[in-house]
Copies of this chain bind each other. A is one copy, B any other.
Amino acid sequence: MAGEEKTLRADAERNRRRLLEAAEALFGERGLDVGVGEIAQRAGVGRGTLFRNFASKEHLIAAIVAERMHHATARGLELLDADDPGEALFGFLDEIVGRQQMDRALFESVGDIYLSNEEIRSAQNEVLGVLDQLLVRAQAAGAVRGDVGALDVLMLVKGVCQAATAFQHLDADIAKRHLDLIRAALSAPPSAQPLRGRAPTLEDMDRALTPPAAHADAAEHASA
């Protein structure tokens, strides 16, 4: 289903890498509103070359975020072999949050392109895949309540990251603190009252991709 990696000319490939590195460095230092001109200059190429490699500034950001997500996926796969399933899950979340703190507001505008950019979507589905496995293991071990899904967890963590970036001058470890609270929420037995709504699934996300289509007969055979 995924297209083959179009092989680039040697210099083009090098320019692409330089652009990614320059953008990553500048975004990390000064946030997402650094100009494309400055990025191209730091990469040592013309502005047009940036748009030859990336359809828009948002796509450039998406490419960087997708790379991060691939790293996260790889790390999550490693943790699947850990002894303690609970520690594996929460250690995974800790590392994700740790990376976020370092490089400023990279998650900042992800929300906007979350669903519209295919590269981000597939990378995020990878992350959700491992997260789901880590979660199921932790639930089987009794370390995490059974009524939450991987998408629940990812959204809570994303929220913690975003809220923390606004206050990072305040306390660098505040995200860790709030992650501990998320952990408490996930560790608690679903005793008191049940959660409102139901755990969102990947199918829900796919369905959310086409809101302008008012076909009205979508609930036919999709109620599995």
Contacts and interface: CB of A to CB of B under 8 A. Distances in A.
B177 A197 contact: yes
A208 B168 CA distance: 9
Nearest to A168: B208
B148 A181 contact: yes
Contacts of A152: 177-178, 181
A196 B177 contact: yes
Given A159-B160, A192-B184, A167 B197 contact: no
B211 A169 contact: yes
A218 interface: no
A200 to B, nearest CB: 6
A202 to B, nearest CB: 11
Contacts of A166: 110-112, 114-115, 158
A180 interface: yes
A161 B158 CA distance: 11
Interface residues on A, range: 35 or more
Contacts of A163: 111, 155-156, 158-159, 162
A164 B208 CA distance: 13
B181 A192 contact: no
Contacts of A115: 166, 169
A78 interface: no
Interface centre among A158, A178, A207 (most CB of B within 10 A): A178
A1 to B, nearest CB: 23
A164 B163 CA distance: 13
A171 B200 contact: yes
Contacts of A112: 166
A170 interface: yes
